[in-house]
Structure 1
Amino acid sequence: MALGSPSPATVHDVDTTAAVDVADLRKAYRGGPAVLDGLTFRAGRGRVTALLGPNGAGKTTTVAICEGLRRADSGTVRVLGLDPVADAVALRPRVGVMLQDGGLPTGVGALEALRHIASLHSDPLDVGALAERLGLTGFARTRVRRLSGGQRQRLAVACALVGRPELVFLDEPSAGLDPQARLAVWDVVREARGAGVAVVLTTHLMEEAERLADDVVVVDHGRVVAAGSPEELTRGPASLTFRSRPGLATASLARALPDGAEVTETETGRYTVTGIAVDPRVVATVTNWCASHDVLAEGVGPVRRTLEDVFLDLTGRTLR
């Protein structure tokens, strides 16, 4: 089934009110294994959707297909209700794209490049104000090819947003940024969302997804393995941790706690209590046990599961 000619059943399922609607997307390169294997997700308008996944999970291919830069082998994709290939001309002024590599003219100054991109749009943002927000003025006249990685990232974000898009794709927007620049980029992304822009971003930075995303889509082996808000994905019983000297014999602590409790040394000198609900009595039991065994414990308290915990549980800890 060609991307531009989906089956009637698939068309019926497409939500044209979503900013991005991807259904059963499949892609393989030159007879190799499937890069995308039935991937399906939606990105809402006026929301930030983060695509997370290990290297090779299919994120970049998915975004490239949504941007009309690649074609899927089968499945459907609609961007602002349109086909990104057949309707590319209509979509181009409505969609902003930040590519991690390339896409910027390299022989001109940074601000000149931004002004050029702005000139292609009928109602661009104020170039000077945007440059100031993202700290571009300090290297405004530096040719793009001479910019550092972080400087080029900030320029790419500005170019993606300057045309007031309805939808913007951001590929690793915080890669190579120092903390100050990262916070500035996050503020600009939040401001765009507040203005009704749909943002689809890929990132390996879990904090970025937790701080920015309304919706998170975790991709692995070309499929969506989990989706929801950061709060939904991290919801679950908290664990309790404390630090002390390495090698504590904690069997008696586990017996002092409610049935089901497990106490493990998760890293040198750091202990985690799992398997039970963490409440004030559990914290008190751990604290009293430490005192009665002449153990100095630091930082006794519950720890909520993070998005990184969820990500590793879903995709594993093996290097790829």
Structure 2
Amino acid sequence: MKISSISICFFVLVPFAFGDLQVGFYRSSCPQAESIVRQVVQKRYSSDNSITAALLRMHFHDCFVGGCDASILIDSTGNNKSEQDAPPNKRIRGFNLIHEVKERLEAACPSTVSCADIITLATRDAVALSGGPTYEVPTGRRDGLVSDYNEVMRNLPSPNMTVSEASENFAAKGFTKQEMVTLLGAHTVGVAHCDVFRDRLSNTPGPTMDPALYVELVNKCKPATGKEEPFVSLDQGTQFVFDNQFYEQILLKRGILRLDQLIGLDNSTRGFVSDFAFNRDKFRKSFVDAIIKMASVDVLVGSAGEVRKNCKVFN
């Protein structure tokens, strides 16, 4: 799945610190922390450039449930059904990359760098490698002590929500509609399995889907028989490049997921979609602001939580 012809343009956006999080938190305690994360991500990306989408999804699903505390990494046990087993998280991947980073960091700086910060840093680096913005990210998160299947079902937004429902869900976490539209822009490098949106393919394309796309999806999404569920790219033009074409396609009614397409039709969000579709730099700046904010909401800092030795289990 490697694409070697991507021309990557780097630029730096430096945000302010959020609360007790700060840029360079490990500068003294583990100065090589961020470079170790970057090395592992670069190695993986060189053989699998779909890792950017995987990490963005993991990051979002972790942060939206109890804050960015790496609770999504905890394995289920006989006494606890963890977040990993919740249906929305079943297809999340990239865990082995995070565990590889953790092993290297434990060897270099034992019990110092949290699993929560590893997810955040790895996602940042993967976005840059995919042609997205390079930015400084505040660190200092601590790992959580709870991973609850039911919290995922209660808190994680669904791709089949209406704009109103999704807006309420994001607002509960402190996000504006513009920030919601921005964060959905991570779908510029994602995929969706057909069973997530197959209900949009019944009968006729309807007024919310480009007829040509409807035909393409019907052909690609014929029910699997004994095989893995087929999937399609959410950005059909530049599926491995972090850019703003996702929004351009939404304006053409070529959004795959219901919510993705609805933000391009609803009066309260269409303006943001249009702005991002026609202004690449505005999307990049907005994305940096929004993902740093998401990675800073309800985080554990100071003496709260713990720094896990193994990201899969509580200490």
Q: TM-score, normalised by structure 1?
A: 0.26
Structure richer in helix, relative to its length: 2
Q: Which structure has the higher relative contact order (CA within 8 Å, separation 6+)? A: 2
Larger Rg: 1
Q: Which has the higher strand share?
A: 1
